[in-house]
Amino acid sequence: MLQRNDHIIEISRDDYLGNKINLADYRGKKVLLSFFRWASCPFCNLRIRQLIVQYPEFVKNKIEIIALFAATGGEISKYAGKQNAPFPIIPDTELDLYAKYGIKESFSGMVKVLLKPVELFKVMKSGFFNVKTIHKKAILPMDFLICEDQLIYRAYYGKDYGDHIPIAEVLAWKNERM
């Protein structure tokens, strides 16, 4: 597992739209690097929507966003891509970047989120609900706050399918230093 002050692991991939994304190109910028489950995951799509809605605040606070999905580019287009995120979304079907960043799987992560009625209600109401990801690997989300010098400021390993670092915490990070 990666932790504070660790160097990032380079990412050099095409996003689902075919744009080349190199994490090294973000040197000098703060970055929220978010790893999601599958492109059809309703909790993931709800989080993508939240990031899109808050995107003007990220821009204002000079924080870039890069998202990754354990999915193909086609699956991303069909699900998460429909939201037209203003930030890159990278497919990682082989999960090699997930493994390098410390992927965790947990069937109990699915059970834990099912025991959160408020979260379930949000997903049901969001229009993203489906059961397509239940049969797939029980990947838990991960978020990394990466400083301008490309060291990890915060590593956040989710405990359930909908557990991401709070957006308010990311936005508050704008003035903090290592």
* Domain chopping of the chain, boundaries: 12-175
Q: pLDDT band at 118, cuts 50/70/90?
A: low
Measured between alpha carbons, how far is 12 from 25 in angstroms, rounded to an integer?
A: 10
Residue where the block lists tokens 């932790």: 3
**pLDDT, position 141:** 94
Q: Treating both helix axes as pointing N-terminal to C-terminal, what angle do 42-60 and 117-126 enclose, rounded to 10 degrees?
A: 90
Measured between alpha carbons, how far is 81 from 121 in angstroms, rounded to an integer?
A: 23
Q: How many CA atoms lie within 13 A of 5 on its CB side?
A: 1
Percent of the chain with pLDDT over 70: 80
pLDDT of residue 62 exceeding 60 = yes
* Poorest-pLDDT segment among 7-11, 21-25, 107-111: 107-111
**What is the pTM assigned to this prediction?**
0.87
Minimal CA–CA distance to 165: which of 129, 147, 148, 141?
A: 141
**pLDDT, position 109:** 61
Interacting residues of 172 by C-beta distance below 8 A, sequence separation 6+ = none
CATH 3.40.30.10 fits 12-175, yes or no: yes
Q: What tokens appear for 22 in the block?
A: 């190199």
